[in-house]
Structure 1
Amino acid sequence: METLPPLNAVRAFEAVARTGGVAAAAKSLFVTHGAVSKQIHLLEDHLGVRLFMREGRQLVLTDEGRRFAEQTQRAFAELRKGVEWVKRRANQTRLVVSVVPSFAARWLVPRLVRFQERHPELELFINATMALADFSDGKVDVAIRYGRGKWPGLFVQPLLAPEYVPVCAPSLIDAPIHDPEQLAQMRLIHDDSHEQWVRWTQMVGTKTVDPYTGIVFDDFNVVLEAVLQGHGVALANRQFVTRELETGSLVQLIPNALCEAGFYFVCDPLRVDRDPVRLFRTWLTHEIQRDADRIRF
């Protein structure tokens, strides 16, 4: 089998044939004039024929060079088509999701098997992070963010409106609690800062519960583990602890729920109609409605 010439030499030849000169070819390839000339000589030595000749100050293709130029241009055109096909195929089957860790662990992961069963052709990459995804570099397709939905220039769709309620392990209480003042005798556990408990105590109007006491953790999953271990009472999004409340491993102490901010589906508006993005958004909406129907009935 005949050995193919070096690809760099063929690229240099195709560029000279297309642009009409070594200087222009060097500029299009972002290399030096000398580098292009060297590759042309290398290719001519490999093929054993002259591909260019000079007519005065002008560099022109020989008959062999003209024929080879036509073939290489067709070959590069086909190669470009192949590259574009692979890129399109990758974009059609790959989905990168940036998601708040608590949402990922407590809501998304338990339901993902249903998405995978429905769309086995899609390859999911889940990036659990509090950092806001930068859509400009194309590395992230969609994000699930926590906030108030104000991200200018992006497609934003509300997903969940959290309801934060006080929960604890059943071993911490002897009887149901109905009065917020009773929480003054319990250790508070905080997610990231004291602010949520501050707002909750203000909402219910308690004067005896000090929202600045207790333990602060920087991750809700650790908060939940501490509560399950009986270390105190925490404010938890009811939608994130449904299973624990149903099984009795956690109890809700008081019905008063703090409702603030929310979880949102966010993406570049130019990508919202791409198949993987559209399918994932449709599935999220279906799952949220499914939960709402289950709670209602």
Structure 2
Amino acid sequence: MDWREIPSLSALRAFEATARLLSFSKAAAELNVTHAAIAQHVRGLEAEFSESLVVRAGRGIALTHAGERLAARLVAGFGEIANGVQDIRQLGVDRPLTISVTPAFATSWLMPRIGSFWEKHPDITVNISPTYKLVDLAKDNVDMAIRFGDGSWAGCDVEYLTSGDLVVVGHPELINNPNANSMADLVGLTWFFERIYARERRLVVQSEGFDLKSAQVNTLESSDLVFAGVSAKLGVSAITRSLIDHKITSGEFQAVCRLKTDGLGYHIVTRKNFESPSLRTFKKWLHQVA
């Protein structure tokens, strides 16, 4: 196909609407342009084809034989385009959502809450992919990533979801002081850090004036192991507050003190200007429950 031999699509759309509605004014209203713009497009096509496409008929207009032939082809052609667009849109509606999250967020924040989403939206399938690996949203066909950081991911749409503030927690029986509220109450206890966050969280703890060099520190491979160690009364840890609110509320963990991490938190990361109806619904739900 040589597009140089085809008139502008704007002119063809203007004529198709005119032929279907038999009115310049109605075509202009449908396409949200002026009456003069529609007339100019139609006259331009007539000049290009050296054929009359419409003629006056009383107070309205009628199609010539050439106009009827062109209109029939355009109706069929634009109909095929509309069907193709709808097919692709339906693919986005029908296919499952793929959500990339860190294992800790998946286990401690998302899974305890997502039952309410599935109850309200049983028609939307959500595939949850827990991983620490960075993903290419387009290349890996991922609809959304939920990541911890300051929100500075270039080339993506980023929305703040929930706080990244840390809280130092331990088992109530290990801390053995219901009024503990400072780092001084943790002297002599073992610390657990998840490997991927170990360096940053050690720095945050030490910035509070706590000397980790004199403490027993164990670095574990996953957040699940850290949680298990705390639950087993083996040590304490600094964990993102939003991930363990439910354990603090239930009394399984005792919150000792809060460590503020300015500007950090969990964010929704999606492709730029790319949002299917299912993704929009899931994002709205996330914000409601955060």
Fold shared, TM-score > 0.5 on shorter chain: yes
* 2:93 paired residue number: 92
How far does residue 171 in structure 1 lie from its aligned partner after superposition?
1.5
8 Å contact from structure 1 (residues 203, 258) kept in 2: no
CA RMSD of aligned residues (A): 2.7
The one-letter code matched in structure 2 to 1:277 is L
The one-letter code matched in structure 1 to 2:220 is F
Q: 1:231 to 1:83 in 2, by over 3 A?
A: farther
Q: Does 1:101 align with 2:103?
A: yes
Q: Does 1:269 align with 2:272?
A: yes
- Structure 1: runs of 5+ lacking an equivalent: 1-17, 19-77, 289-297
Q: How many residues align?
A: 211
The one-letter code matched in structure 2 to 1:88 is R
Q: Does 1:244 align with 2:247?
A: yes
* 2:31 paired residue number: none
How far does residue 80 in structure 1 lie from its aligned partner after superposition?
10
Q: Residue 192 of structure 2 aligns to a residue in which SS?
A: strand
TM-score where L is the length of structure 1: 0.63
8 Å contact from structure 1 (residues 194, 211) kept in 2: no
What pairs with 1:172-187 in structure 2 (closer than 5 Å)?
172-175=174-177, 176-187=179-190
* 1:190 paired residue number: 193
Q: 1:138 to 1:198 in 2, by over 3 A?
A: closer
How far does residue 189 in structure 1 lie from its aligned partner after superposition?
0.7
* 1:161 paired residue number: 163
What pairs with 1:42-57 in structure 2 (closer than 5 Å)?
none
TM-score where L is the length of structure 2: 0.65
- Cα distance in 2, alignment partners of residues 178 and 200 from structure 1: 17
- Cα distance in 2, alignment partners of residues 197 and 156 from structure 1: 24
8 Å contact from structure 1 (residues 132, 145) kept in 2: no
What pairs with 1:38-187 in structure 2 (closer than 5 Å)?
87-93=88-94, 94-137=96-139, 139-175=141-177, 176-187=179-190
How far does residue 178 in structure 1 lie from its aligned partner after superposition?
3.5
8 Å contact from structure 2 (residues 188, 215) kept in 1: no
The one-letter code matched in structure 2 to 1:202 is Q
Q: 1:202 to 1:170 in 2, by over 3 A?
A: same
The one-letter code matched in structure 1 to 2:206 is Q
